Structures are given as C-alpha cells and as structure tokens.
Amino acid sequence: MKERLEELQQEALAKVEQADSVQGLKDVKVEYLGKKGPITEVLRGMGKLSKEERPVIGQLANDVRESIAQAIETKQTALEDAELEKQLEEESIDVTLPARPVKVGGPHLLTSIVEEIEDLFIGMGFEIKEGPEVETDYYNFEALNLPKGHPARDMQDSFYVTEELLMRTHTSPVQARTMGAKDGSEPVKMICPGKVYRRDTDDATHSHQFTQIEGLLVDKNVRMSDLKGVLNAFAKQMFGADREIRLRPSFFPFTEPSVEMDISCKVCGGKGCSVCKGTGWIEILGGGMVHPNVLEMAGYDPKEYSGFAFGMGPERIAMLKYGVDDIRHFYTNDVRFLEQYHKA
C-alpha cells in the first residue's frame, strides 16, 4: 500500500508538472484528489490493515495528498501569472509607433474675410449689428424708399415666404431697423454682416445666397467726403496702401446721391488688362448719402441729420484679394479649396 501511495504521488506530481493550463491542472486535481480518486480508494482499504500499519499509512496518505495539493497550488499560481502576462503582452500598446497626423480644421475663407472687414471697421469706431434673414416687405423695401410697384424692386427679385415676408435681398433693412430703434437724435455708426438671398441662377459670379456687409453712419453734418474717407481707409487697409479708389455716380433708391466705388487694378497698376477688362479699375461696392425719405421714415429729421451708407459683398472682396475665380467655391466646400486659406 505504501508503494501504491508513493507511485500515485509521483504520477500525480508528474502530471501537475506537465499541466500547461489552469483547466488542465483542475483535471489533475479532480483525478487524484477527488472523491472517486485513487487516494480515496487506498484510504478506503485501510480497514484491512493491521493496527500498527494503519496510522503509518494514514499519515503517509495525508502527506501524499498534502504534497499533491501543494504542488497544484504552486503550479496554479505560476500558470495564472503566465496567462496574465500573456494577456498583457497581447494587449500592450506600442507607444513608439508614430502617431497618425490629426487633421485640424480652420475658419472658412468667407468667415476670415468677414472678420477681417469687421476688425477694420471696429477700428474706425463702427459697432456690429445683425438683423433677421426672413424680413418683412416693409424693412426690405418700403422703409428703404422702394414702395410697392417701384421698378427698382425688379433688380432684387427674391424668395417670398408670404406676400409680406421674404428672404432679405440685401443687408440694407438693418439700416432701417437700427435707425428706427433710436429716438431720432442719437448718432448711428454701424456695420451689419449677414446672409442675403436673390432669385438668381448660380454661375461663376452669381449665387442665390451670398453675403453682404452693410455700413451706416448717421449724425449731424455727415458729408460725401466722410464716406470717401472711410472707404478709402478701408480699401487701403484691405488691398494695400498703393491702391487708389474712385467713386462713380450710380443709383440706389435709398441713397442720393449714389455711388459705386472702384479700386485701381493691382495686376496692371491702372493701365488696363484682362482682369480689369481694360479699364484699370475694379468695382468693389455701392454706397451713397442716405436718402432723406429713408431718414424721415426712421424718425430722423433730414434737415438736421444726414448720413452715408454702403454695401459690399465679402465674396467679391475675397475673390479679388485672393484671385478666387468662381463664387461657387465658397459654398461647395471642397477642402482642397478651403485648406489653402487656413492661416497657420
């Protein structure tokens, strides 16, 4: 019986040694230490032994059990450690791998241009105003001296929401709104950037939705020379100190007199080339002295107050400044176009 126990011990220890997984080890445990295992079997047969032999074999059997259990436990810890080690190894991150570059966005060219223009006018003491894009017929046309049936309404065909509500065709309604919100004696000095809408067929120079920046200054003794001075300062800061401006007579129902402003062509320096269509000048914006009717409708006495107003398209400014040849580039949002204008 002693030999049998020693044999079992060796056998079991060898199997423990060979076990290469936690599960395999469990099987060995069940096989040798389980209730139906060979050691239990041996112990059952102890009744047949002599009185002297019984405690000796009992002791031995216990020692054998103990040594096997011990070996299993040690091996189990080793196997668990190895398994954890393996898992950690598989899941480990190689921190030496070079990182994938992160694509960083930037402001849209149009946003940058509008902000640049805003900064220039803020520097001259103008404040920024905003107005609704869905506008009433009154503010979009009537308050700007364009009564119903006025032929100049045709120049600004629009998208109507109802008979009286439309997508604003220009930012000029913000003039009327800003003046109207004052008591008729407070000076106004504001610019208004925003989206405008017209019923146009989109092409390289037309878009049914584009951007405008309106400017308005109302006070006592405001003259055309003030308008010219402000626009000249704007043009030189925007396009360069070497650029000249000129004002040409024009027509807008809400300004009288009305002008259009050109800047000298940069490409030919004023001699005439294909960019300026041979004239040496490039049209930039429209403006003029606020029409007395407009002042009056907004509550200002035109005998005491005068003002100038102007309106420009930031897309056009950006096209001229950066040589963009199609207004649709601003709205199709091709990153290959846009990322050229991201400032570092």
Residue ranges of the annotated binding site are 256
Whether the Cβ atoms of residue 160 and residue 198 lie closer than 8 Å to each other? no
φ, ψ of residue 165 to 5 degrees: the values are -120, 135
Q: Residue from 37, 287, 307, 314 that binds ligand PHE (CB under 6 A)?
A: 287
Q: 22: which 2 tokens?
A: 């936690």
Contact window for ligand PHE (CB under 6 A) among 5-13, 33-41, 96-104, 286-294: 286-294
Q: Residue from 158, 255, 264, 306 that binds ligand PHE (CB under 6 A)?
A: 255
Residues 160-179 that bind ligand PHE (CB under 6 A): 170, 172
CB of 239 to ligand PHE, least distance (A): 19
Nearer Cβ to ligand PHE (67/293): 293
Residues belonging to the binding site for Mg(2+) are 256
- Site mask for ligand PHE (CB under 6 A), range 71-90, x = bound: --------------------
Nearer Cβ to ligand PHE (12/135): 135
Contact window for ligand PHE (CB under 6 A) among 112-120, 131-139, 283-291, 315-323: 283-291
φ, ψ of residue 254 to 5 degrees: the values are -95, 0
Chain center to CA of 337: 16
Measured over the CA atoms of residue 184, residue 133, residue 193 and residue 147, the dihedral's sign is negative
HSE-CB at 227 with a 13 A cutoff on CA atoms is 29
Could you give the CA distance from residue 334 to residue 194 in angstroms, rounded to a whole number? Answer: 22
Whether the Cβ atoms of residue 134 and residue 166 lie closer than 8 Å to each other? yes
Q: Residue from 32, 121, 141, 252 that binds ligand PHE (CB under 6 A)?
A: 252
CB of 225 to ligand PHE, least distance (A): 17
User: Which residue, judged by CB position, is nearest to ligand PHE in the bound state?
Assistant: 311
Interaction between residue 131 and ligand PHE (CB under 6 A): no
With vertex at residue 163, the alpha carbon angle to CA 160 and CA 164, rounded to the nearest 5 degrees, is: 90
Could you give the CA distance from residue 68 to residue 17 in angstroms, rounded to a whole number? Answer: 11
Q: 213: which 2 tokens?
A: 């920046």
CB of 265 to ligand PHE, least distance (A): 22
Q: 44: which 2 tokens?
A: 């059952």
CB of 286 to ligand PHE, least distance (A): 4
Could you give the CA distance from residue 254 to residue 309 in angstroms, rounded to a whole number? Answer: 9
Element (H, E) at 231: helix 224-239
Nearer Cβ to ligand PHE (222/309): 309
Residues 291-320 that bind ligand PHE (CB under 6 A): 309-311
Residues 194-233 that bind ligand PHE (CB under 6 A): 214
Query: Contact positions toward ligand PHE, by CB under 6 A?
Result: 170, 172, 214, 252, 255, 286-288, 309-311
